[in-house]
Amino acid sequence: MRTLQVLVTLLAFASQAVAAEPRAWVEDNLPPIVALYKELHQSPELSYQEEQTSQRMAKELKAVGAEVTTGVGGFGVIGILKNGTGPMLMLRADMDALPVTERTGLAYASTVKVKNPDDGNETGVMHACGHDVHMANLVGVARYLAANKGEWKGTVMFLFQPAEERGGGAKAMLGDKLFERFGKPDLAVAFHVDSYLETGKVGFRGGYAMANVDSVDITLKGKGGHGSQPQSTIDPIAQAGYLIVELQSIVSREIDPREAAVVTVGAIHGGTKHNIIPDTCELKLTVRSYTDEVRAKLLEAIERKAKAVAASFKAPEPEVKFSEGTPALFNHEDLTNQIAATLRKTLGKDNVVPALPSMGGEDFGRFGRAGVPICMYRVGSVNPDRLAKLRKDNAVPSAHSPLYYPDPQETLRTSMTTMSQIVLDLLKK
C-alpha cells in the first residue's frame, strides 16, 4: 500500500513538473492571451493618451498578485512580483499605438478615430508596431510566473511603458524616480515583433541593435514677394533646394564610411500659390546613427549647413530645433549571449538567427544608459506561408504600415515560451 502511495505521489509530482514547463503551460493557457491581444488591438491609444490601456494592464497585474503602481511617468504601470531573495529582473512592454488608419481587413481591425494632436486632423489609430503583442505577452508571462513560483526565485518588475513611439516614455518614467522608488533592476529584458521574420523564429544581436534617433525642424527665412520679381525677394524655397542637397553630403563626405548614419528630409512646407514667393520654408528631418560621436557630428553639421545656405542667400539666420531625441539601443553582450543560449535550448538552433542592426529607434535603450544591463530580442510575427507569398509579391509590410499585422497565436506562443524560459534561466532557484 505504501509503495502505491509513493508511486502516486511521484506521478503527481512528475505531472506538475511537466505542467510547469513553459512550452506546455503556454499551450494550455494561450487562448485567453490571444483574446486579450485582439481586445487590445481593437482599442489602441496614441502616445501620452494610454489611460484605458494602462488601467487594463494594472488590472491584469493585480490579478496575478503583483504590487501595482500606476501613473509612473505619465500612464506608466509598474508591477512587482516578489518570490524570495534573489536578483531583480525587469520585463518591459510598450503600450502606445500610432496615428495610422488600419487597412488589414481583419475581423478585429481597429476602427478607432481621434484628432491627431500634431495637426488637429482626424486620424485612425492602429497598433501597427506590435505593442499589442508586447502587452499581451507580458500579461501571459506574468500569469505563468505567478502560477509557477516553485520554478524561480527573486523579484520580477513588470514595466508597461507609455509613449515609446514618441521616444519620451522611458525618459519620463526614469525622470519620475523609477529606480529610486521601485529598486534598480539587475537585468532588463524585452522583445520586439519582427515583420520580416517567420513565426517560430527569433533573432538576437549583441551591441548596437537600434539607432540614435533625432528629429530636426528647420525654418528657413526669406523675404516674400511676387514670383515675377525674384530680384526683390529672398527666396526660402530656393534655399531649401540647396540645403536638401547639402544635407546629403554630410553622410557621404563627413562621416567615416564604416559608421552607420542617415539624414532624411521627411517633409517640406513652403508657399501658398504659384506666383508668390513666401517668407519662410520649413523642413522636417529624421537623423539616425549609432555612436554618440557620430550623432554629435551629424547634428552639428545640419545646423552648420543650414546657416551656411542662408548666408549664401544673404537671408536671416534660420531656426534649427532638435527634438524627440532617443539614444541608441545597445544590448549587453554577455546578457545577450546568455539569452541566445536559452533561445537555442528552447526553440532549437535552426530557429534562432542573428538579427541585423536596425536604424529604427527604441527607447528601451534608455534603461541601459541608466546602468542596467539590457537585452531586446526579436520575435518573428508572420507565419511562413503568408510571409513567403508576401515576399514573392514584393509586398512585405513593415512595422508602421497600415497593412501590417502579426499572426497572433503563433507569435504569442513563441514570445511567451521564450520569455518565460529566459526568466527561469536568469532567476534560477
Is beta strand 207-210 parallel, antiparallel or unpaired with respect to 329-331? antiparallel
C-alpha cell at 208: 548596437
User: pLDDT per residue over 272-287, tens digit each?
Assistant: 999 999 999 999 999 9
What amino acid is encoded at 75 in this protein?
F
Q: What is the mean pLDDT of the chain?
A: 95
CB count in 10 Å sphere of residue 178: 24
pLDDT confidence band for 121 (50 / 70 / 90): confident
Q: What is the mean pLDDT of residues 281-306?
A: 98
210-222 mean pLDDT:
97
Would you say residue 6 has pLDDT above 50? Answer: no
The DSSP secondary-structure symbol of 135 reads H
Confidence of residue 117 (pLDDT cuts 50, 70, 90): confident
10 Å Cβ neighbour count for 48?
17
Alpha-carbon torsion, ordered 239, 300, 368, 366, to 10 deg: -40
The CA distance from 333 to 257, in Å, is 24
The C-alpha atoms of residue 246 and residue 252 are separated, in whole angstroms, by 10
| CA atoms of 424 and 56, how far apart (whole Å) | 26
Residues 6+ apart with CB under 8 A from 119: none
Percent helix, strand, coil in the chain (nearest 5)?
A: 40, 25, 30
The answer to whether residue 412 scores a pLDDT higher than 80 is yes
Other Cβ atoms closer than 10 A to 86: 16
Do the beta carbons of residue 414 and residue 200 sit within 8 Å?
Answer: yes
The pLDDT of 348-372, averaged and rounded, is 97
The residues pairing with 190 across neighbouring beta strands, listed in sequence order, are: 376
Please state, in angstroms and as integers, the Cα–Cα distance from residue 168 to each residue in 174, 310, 363, 388, following that order: 10, 32, 7, 36
What is the mean pLDDT of the segment spanning 360-366?
96
Average pLDDT, integer, range 99-112: 98
User: What is the structure's pLDDT at 96?
Assistant: 98
Cα separation, 195 vs 236, whole angstroms: 40
How far is it, in rounded angstroms, from Cα 72 to Cα 170? Answer: 10
All three cell numbers of 422, joined, read 529566459
- Residue at 360: amino acid letter: G
* Sequence letter at residue 262: V
Candidates 179, 151, 259; CA nearest to 212 is: 259
Indicate yes or no: pTM above 0.85. Answer: yes
Write out pLDDT tens, residues 29-49: 999 999 999 999 999 999 999
* 95 contacts 54 by C-beta, under 8 angstroms: yes
For helices 236-254 and 292-312, give the axis angle rounded to 10 degrees: 150
The count of residues in the chain is 429
